[in-house]
Amino acid sequence: MTSYYGPPKPEPDMIALIHHAVTAGVTLLDTGESESEYVLCGIFLCKYLNIQFSSSAVLAMAAAPMVVPRMKLGSQGLEVSAQGLGCMGMTAYYGPPKPEPDMIALIHHAVATGVTLLDTADSYGPHTNEILLGKALKAGLREKVDLASKFGVAFVDGEPDFRGDPAYVRAACEGSLKRLGVDCIDLYYQHRIDTRVPIEVTIGELKKLVEEGKIKYVGLSEASASTIRRAHAVHPITAVELEWSLWTRDAEEDIIPTCRELGIGIVAYSPLGRGFFSGGAKLIESLPDGDIRKNWPRFQPENFDKNIQIFERVNEMAKRKGCTPSQLALAWVHHQGNDVCPIPGTTKIENFNQNVRALSVKLTPEEMSELESYAAADIVQGDRDPQSAYTWKNSETPPLSSWKGE
């Protein structure tokens, strides 16, 4: 249509041909790496399948990355892509919501690349992130993805209130199902632990939702080792989501060994240090108004000026390896084990492609040690979160015997 067999054919005729093929039942459209062919298919999707991509999104798709392999997440039967997509920044916390058509294009591109694990939460927006994914999945993608959402962060007068009581758990799940437009959520996490409710009570309600077919697998996010053990005794925990990156390693002492002992998969959020290993010194300048990272201790001037030395050393090693700093930092997470699935977030297709290529970066044990020496605990300046209440350090719950609720 566009190359090798003579001059490019008239675009309207070629789009009409593609449209005719699709209406006749053809679903596999084969193109090549040439930008012209990829853009032609992108134009067709925009005009005739009502998928509205920006021109920049279509052009970025031309740089198609490797296909993402699959992995077993935990020991309960869930299989996902070896790298997922964190969707939070598309609508929340990292500045204003991004253009919906571009975010849907990014999600579709991720799925076409082999990414199946899409990560969202009812608190992102709140609610707008789940609504976005619901719209993206309407294009016949539901059966191709493993949908992960979270509950447990309610808002009272604009302030977060962690909830894990049974009535709230059920209502939150029903709300997420409706916003996502699905009958069942593949992986449903307790986003933050309610320290007023015994974890056994919360997991007990999640177990009922599994039995009712509303969720398939249960997960925890930012939970301590003891809380994970108590939860797992009530119903098998499939995955624990935690912040894990080259400069955030506090889960390695107890939480990760506990997960491995119990056969629980590990989902690493913010594997690029909340953008630190991709943005470097330019990150602070690029943060828009409303970006919560402006309040993060590690990004304050007195800490960031020292932390940037970590990035510079990683960047030097990346040059030697022939990759980018973000790919090197992400590869470090991948090399932690085949039970670890990082979920880097992005709002740009070109950054997504770059992240996927981190899967091909190989590190020797010596290189792993060298990287870790750059970001040792005594070198990193500032806490990872402005409030420890938002982390696993504040996730112990009362004993079950103390529960007087329903």
pLDDT digits (tens, 9 = 90+) for 20-31: 576 566 767 776
Query: Phi and psi (nearest 5°) for 243?
Result: -80, 120
DSSP 8-state secondary structure symbol assigned to residue 342: E
Residue range 233-287, pLDDT digits in tens? 999 999 999 999 999 999 999 999 999 999 999 999 999 999 999 999 999 999 9
pLDDT level of residue 389 (50, 70, 90 thresholds):
confident
What lies within 8 Å, CB to CB, of 30 at 6+ separation is none
70-402 to CATH, choices 3.40.718.10, 3.30.310.40, 3.90.850.10, 3.20.20.100:
3.20.20.100
Residue range 102-125, pLDDT digits in tens? 999 999 999 999 999 999 999 999
**For the chain, counts of helices (H) and of strands (E):** 15, 12
Listed by start position, the domains of the chain span 11-50, 70-402
What lies within 8 Å, CB to CB, of 393 at 6+ separation is 224
DSSP 8-state secondary structure symbol assigned to residue 94: B
Q: Reply yes or no on whether the pLDDT at 34 is more than 70.
A: no
Q: Is 189 a catalytic site residue?
A: no
Q: Which two tokens stand for residue 346?
A: 């992005």
What lies within 8 Å, CB to CB, of 9 at 6+ separation is 1, 2
Residue range 337-357, pLDDT digits in tens? 999 999 999 999 999 999 999
Residue range 219-231, pLDDT digits in tens? 999 999 999 999 9
**Per-chain mean pLDDT for the chain:** 91
The residue from 124, 217, 269, 374 that is catalytic is 124
Per-residue pLDDT at 331: 99
Residue range 63-99, pLDDT digits in tens? 556 789 999 999 999 999 999 999 999 999 999 999 9
3-state secondary structure 25-73: CCCCCCCCCCHHHHHHHHHHHHHHCCCCCCHHHHHHHCCCCCCCCEEEC
